[in-house]
Amino acid sequence: MSAPRRLANAVLGSLPAAVARPAYDRRLVRPGIVHLGVGAFHRAHEAVHTDDVLATGDLGWGIVGASLRSPDTRDALAPQDGLYTLASRDGAGERLRVIGSGAGLLVAPEDPQALLAAMADPQVRIVSLTVTEKGYCHSPASGELDEAHPDIVHDLGAPNAPRSAVGFIVEAIARRRAAGVPPFTLLSCDNLPANGRTLKRVVSRFARLRDADLGRFVADEIACPSTMVDRIVPATTDADRTAIAGALGVEDAWPVVTEPFSQWVVEDDFGAGRPEWERSGVTFVKDVDPYELMKLRLLNGSHSTLAYLGYLAGHETVAAAMAAPGFAKLVRNMMDVEVTPTLAGLEGVDLGAYKDDLVARFRNPALRHRTWQIAMDGSQKLPQRLLGTIRDRIASGAPFARLALGVAAWIRYACGTDEKGAPIDVRDPLAATMRERARDADTAGGLVAAFLRLEQVFGTDLAAEPVFARAVETALAGLLRDGAAATVVRVAAS
Ligand code: CS2
C-alpha cells in the first residue's frame, strides 16, 4: 500500500475546490518576520493575517517560525513545506483554508545560532511573539523581569546561547547593532496588559543587566507596539486531524481549528516597516490599552471563571459549561455589573454588541475548547483577567462577588483535587507551591490566607485588603460546601 499523501506545495493544485489555498507563488516569498512560539494561536491569527497580505502581492513578509522548546511543530510541518490547514467552525459549518505564510521552521534548543542568525537577518524587520504569559519571565503582579528566573539567570551567564525569548531578543538586537543592521520592531501577541510596554520593560532590564550601554540602546531604539489579539483556538485533537484529512484528501499532521471571529488591534509604531495588515481587517490605533483591557477583562476574565467553575462542575468544554444551568447568566452578569463599569475610553465600540458576541462565541457548539486547557497557568493569568478589575471595584467601593467567585474557583482548582476526590492535573509554574499551601490549610479562611501570600499573583496590596480576603473567603466557603454547580446557580440568581 502506498503511504497516504501529505499536504505539501506539490498537492495544492489537486485539493478540493472548496479548500482555499495560498493565492501567491510561495517560491517568491522572502522572510520578513521571525515569530517566537509557533503554536496553534499564532497559526490561526498572525500567520493568517499575513497570508492575506502575501496574497496582495507584497511578498516580503514570510514568517520564520521558531519553537523555544519542543520540535513538535517543526516535525509536523517541515515535511509539508510549512503548510497547514485552518478550519474555522461554528454552528453553520466549517471552512477550510491552507495557510502558506510560513517561510521556515526552527527549533531553538536544537540550534540557537540558527535562530539568532534568522533574527539578525537584515531582511527581517519584525520579531513577533506568542510565548504565553510565563514566557516573559516576569512577575505577573508587578510586570517586572524576574531576575531569579532560572532561564534569565542562565541567559545572563551565557548570552550567546540563550534559552528564553528575552535572551534571544536581546542577543539578536546586540548582533544587529554590532553589524550596523537597523533594529527590528518587537511585536508581542500575548494576552498581557500593555503587552508592548511589558515586553519593553523586561527586555530593557535584561539588556541593562548585560551591559548599561546595550540597556540604553534597547530602551531608546526598539519599537514595541502593544497589540490586542483575539481568536479562540482550542488544541487540535486526533479527531480533528482525521476529519480534516478526510475533507482534504491528504494528511495534515497539524491542522488548526478555530472560530470564524478574528480581531487584532495594533499600535502603529513600526520603525522598520510592516505588512499592510489593515488589508486583512487589522485595526491600527494610537493606543491599544483600552481595547486590551476590554478584551482581557471581558473575554479572558469570563473564560478563566468559566474554566475553573466549569471544570469543577464536571464540564469538559466551555460550550458544555455555557449550556449548564446558571453559567451563561453568571458570566453575563459579571460582565455587565462588575466589569463594564471599570472600562472607559473606547470610542466607537459597542460594548453591548461585543458582550453579545462573546456569549455566542463561548457557546460555539462546533469548538471543543477544554476547560482544562484554559485553566492552565492561572497564576500567570489571574492578575490581568480578574484582579485588576477587582482592584478598580474596591477603589470605587463597589461589590464584586462574581469576580471573587472566579478567584475562589481558581484556588479550589489549584488545590489539586476535584469534587469527587480525583486528582486534577494542574499545569502552572506555581503548581507545587500551591499544592503545598493547600496541604497546610483546611478551611476556606486558611486557604485564602495561604494563597494571598503569593505575592507574584496578588501583589502586596490585595494581600493586605480585608474586603478582598472576605469576598474570596465567602465564595470559597460556598464552593466547598455546595460544590460548583449549585454555587453557580445560586450566584447567577443573585
Ligand atoms: C484563553 C485564551 O486559554 C486561555 O486562557 O482564555 O487563549 C483565549 O481563548 C484567547 O485569548 C481568545 O482570544
pLDDT per residue as tens digits for the range 466-494 = 999 999 999 999 999 999 999 999 999 99
Rounded distance from Cα 9 to ligand 1 centre (Å): 31
**What's the pLDDT tens digit per position in 331-388?**
999 999 999 999 987 888 999 999 999 999 999 999 999 999 999 999 999 999 999 9
Q: Phi-psi category of 75—alpha, beta or left, where left has phi over 0 and alpha has psi -120 to 50?
A: alpha
Q: What is the pLDDT of residue 348?
A: 84
Which pLDDT belongs to residue 99? 98
278-306 average pLDDT score: 97
Output phi, psi for 188, to 5 deg.
Answer: -80, 130
Each residue of 396-432: pLDDT tens digit? 999 999 999 999 999 999 999 999 999 999 999 999 9
Is residue 208 within 8 A of residue 215, CB to CB? The reply is yes
Q: Give the integer Cα–Cα distance in Å for 151 and 172.
A: 17
Of 231, 225, 350, nearest in space to 280 by CA = 231
Q: What's the pLDDT at 344?
A: 85
As a whole number, mean pLDDT of residues 90-111 equals 97
Q: Percent of the chain scored above 90 by pLDDT?
A: 97
Q: Whose CA is nearest to atom 13 of ligand 1?
A: 230
Task: Determine phi and psi for 234, rounding to 5 degrees.
Answer: -65, 160
Nearest CA to 207 out of 142, 152, 138, 140 is that of: 152
Strand-strand pairing, 283-285 and 256-258: unpaired
Cα 199 from Cα 288, distance rounded (Å): 15
Ligand 1 atom nearest residue 231's Cα: 13
Nearest CA to ligand 1 atom 11: 230
Question: Does 191 contact ligand 1 (Cβ within 6 A)?
Answer: yes
Give me ligand 1 centre to Cα 102, in Å.
23
Using the atom order of ligand 1, give the atom closest to the CA of residue 304: 6
Per-residue CA distances from 256 to 238, 330, 466 (Å):
11, 30, 45
What SS3 state is found at 192?
Answer: coil
C-beta 133 within 6 A of ligand 1: no
Mean pLDDT value across residues 252-266: 98
pLDDT, tens only, 126-138: 999 999 999 999 9
Regarding the beta carbon of 318 and ligand 1, being less than 6 Å apart is answered no
- For residue 1, what pLDDT is reported? 47
Measured by CA distance, the residue closest to atom 10 of ligand 1 is 232
Which residues are bridge partners to 33 per DSSP? 63, 126
**Average pLDDT for residues 189-207, to the nearest whole number?**
97
| Grid cell listed for 285 | 490605533
Of 291, 292, 303, 309, the residue with max ligand 1 atoms within 8 A of its CB, to mutate for a pocket test, comes to 303
- The predicted pLDDT at position 3 comes to 54
- Residue 323: enclosing H or E segment and its boundaries? helix 318-323
Nearest to 127 by CA among 207, 63, 67, 69: 63
